[in-house]
Amino acid sequence: MPARPSAGTGMRITFVYRLFSGFEDSFRSGFWKPTGVPTVYRLMEACEEKGIDCEFIFTAKDDHLVRDFPAAATLALDGLKTPVHIIPSANCGKGLWGKARRALMEVRQAFQVYKRIRSSNPDLVYIGNANLLLAGFLARFTNFKTLFRVMGIYPVMRTALESKSLVLRAMAWLYRSPFTAALGTQDGSGFPAWASKALRPGVQVAYLLNGVDNPDPAQSLPPSLPPGLAQKTVVLFVGKLTDMKGAQEFADGFLKAFKDCPDGLFAIMVGTGPLKEPIQRAVVDAGADHAFALIDRLPHDQILAVQSLADIYVSLNKQGNLSNANLEAYRSGRCVIIPSSQPDIGVDADTDELLGPDTAVRIPDAGDIDALAEAITRLHRNPSERLSRMEAMQKVSETLPGWDDRMARELDLLQSIAGVQR
């Protein structure tokens, strides 16, 4: 189906994302103030700034989002020129019937999005991994140019390539669709290794490192933090309080180090999630509540300010350690503790390449609480090692792209794939 002419740059793109929790407040309030996933919202804003004719479609999949957005809606947001379209699913329940119902709802949702795409007739459909069924359908059975966007490699995505399960074999078949291109985030999760096995030969493959903001030196710290932290060794964790992020392991490792250094350490965890209450209980049981701050959410600028305060930044992300929060910690020149890479599946291979050997302290794996506690204690007692690693990290920080450069690279890539001259 030929693409109809469009205004502005001459390029029309339909973006299909899952509805991220960080966009909920914006969609409810009508004011565009997204949090999380800056790769997504900065691209949306960059497209508008460049005059690209865009359509933004969000598919509600999580149960609480389905409850909040039960019907298809088109929302005009103050701060975003282009309306956003929400395509709902339905709460499906559990058990065998729940799984069957969820599959049916996925098909229905994909069909509703497809009808919108047919109507807008874009030059390029940019579609995230959460909408894999539709992405594969578009690539296999329509003439739309389809860019398959992968933001992180999850364990099931690797399992699908070798499983005999019917559902997972279907996933692998969809990954093998003749996409026009596939774009991954260089986040340490092993996209290049996965793509070489999962994607069809001949698909154009690219992956980009996310951009990084510079901290605002005038930004104030959260008022919930106590005074006197300059006299402490501040250990920071930023991320969802989930098993995949290693949140419980961070708390346990810090508390183990705290037993040896009760007067010198202070932990800050920024994030929320299902492990919040277990972590709070562990802190109270250890008698460390005066040395531990757990903060649910912070504006982005305040997160950067907290990173500048920290002496040690810890990431135990089991999917890789080039996330947005980590890149910001690297840009601020922090002393960092992260797990060793996993060369068998490609996790953190690009992290090794970026950081080199002298920047981060590596522990054997994200679950090694003893090694984490030992690393925190050692760095606390050896400020000269912290300084040496911070100086090495500062050199790395000078190579990290800003968001303007990062978005310019992606827009150039989209233009090339769409084949439309600006």
| Closest listed residue to residue 380, CA positions, set 250, 266, 251 | 266
pLDDT in tens, the chain (422 residues): 444 444 455 799 999 999 988 898 899 999 999 987 899 999 999 999 999 999 999 998 876 666 777 788 999 999 999 999 999 876 555 666 667 767 888 899 999 999 999 999 999 999 999 999 999 999 999 999 999 999 999 999 999 999 999 999 999 999 999 999 999 999 999 999 999 999 999 999 999 999 998 776 666 788 889 888 999 999 999 999 999 999 999 999 999 999 999 999 999 999 999 999 999 999 999 999 999 999 987 877 788 889 989 999 999 999 999 999 999 999 999 999 999 999 999 999 999 999 988 999 999 999 999 999 999 999 999 999 999 999 999 999 999 999 999 999 999 999 999 985 43
Q: Which two tokens stand for residue 208?
A: 């980009």
**Residue holding tokens 């827009």?**
411
Say if CB 234 and CB 383 are below 8 A apart.
no
Q: Looking at 88-196, which runs of residues are DSSP E strands?
A: 124-128, 146-150, 181-185
Domains 12-211+402-418 and 229-397 agree in fold? yes
Question: pLDDT digits over 97-113, tens only?
Answer: 667 767 888 899 999 99
Rounded to two decimals, what is the model's pTM? 0.88
Q: What CATH superfamily classification does 229-397 receive? A: Glycogen Phosphorylase B; (3.40.50.2000)
Residues of 269-295 as b/e, b for ≥16 C-beta within 10 angstroms? bbbeeebbeebbebbeebebeebbbbb
Q: How far is residue 306's CA from residue 234's CA, in Å, rounded to a whole number?
A: 10
- Give the three-class secondary structure for 136: helix
Using the 8-state DSSP alphabet, how is residue 190 labeled? -
Q: How far is residue 191's CA from residue 320's CA, in Å, rounded to a whole number?
A: 10
Q: How many CB atoms lie within 10 A of CB 401?
A: 16
pLDDT of amino acid 7: 44
Where are the domains positioned within the chain? 12-211+402-418, 229-397
| Closest listed residue to residue 15, CA positions, set 118, 117, 104 | 117
Question: pLDDT digits over 1-49, tens only?
Answer: 444 444 455 799 999 999 988 898 899 999 999 987 899 999 999 999 9
pLDDT of amino acid 2: 42
Q: Looking at 165-239, which runs of residues are DSSP E strands?
A: 181-185, 204-208, 233-238
Q: What CATH superfamily classification does 12-211+402-418 receive? A: Glycogen Phosphorylase B; (3.40.50.2000)
Q: Angle at Cα 58 formed by Cα 55 and Cα 61, nearest 5°? A: 165
Q: How far is residue 129's CA from residue 116's CA, in Å, rounded to a whole number?
A: 19
Q: How far is residue 396's CA from residue 308's CA, in Å, rounded to a whole number?
A: 16
Q: Which amino acid is at 279?
A: I
- Give the three-class secondary structure for 126: strand
Torsional sign, CA 195, 197, 202, 203? negative
Q: How far is residue 319's CA from residue 53's CA, in Å, rounded to a whole number?
A: 34
Contacts of 37 (CB under 8 A, 6+ apart): 20, 22, 23, 151
pLDDT of amino acid 36: 78
Q: How far is residue 355's CA from residue 330's CA, in Å, rounded to a whole number?
A: 9
Q: In Å, what is the CA distance from 78 to each residue of 36, 40, 218?
A: 19, 18, 27
CA end-to-end span of the chain, whole Å? 21
Q: How far is residue 140's CA from residue 179's CA, in Å, rounded to a whole number?
A: 8
Q: How far is residue 112's CA from residue 110's CA, in Å, rounded to a whole number?
A: 5
pLDDT of amino acid 217: 63
Q: How far is residue 61's CA from residue 193's CA, in Å, rounded to a whole number?
A: 28
Query: Which string of DSSP letters, residue by residue, matches 57-103?
Result: EEE--SHHHHHHS-S-EEE--BT-SS-EEEE------SHHHHHHHHH
Q: In Å, what is the CA distance from 116 to each residue of 72, 137, 157, 210?
A: 12, 14, 28, 30
Say if CB 254 and CB 376 are below 8 A apart.
yes
Identify the bridge partners of residue 206 per DSSP, sorted by sequence position: 183
| Gyration radius from the chain CA atoms | 22
Q: How far is residue 159's CA from residue 147's CA, in Å, rounded to a whole number?
A: 23
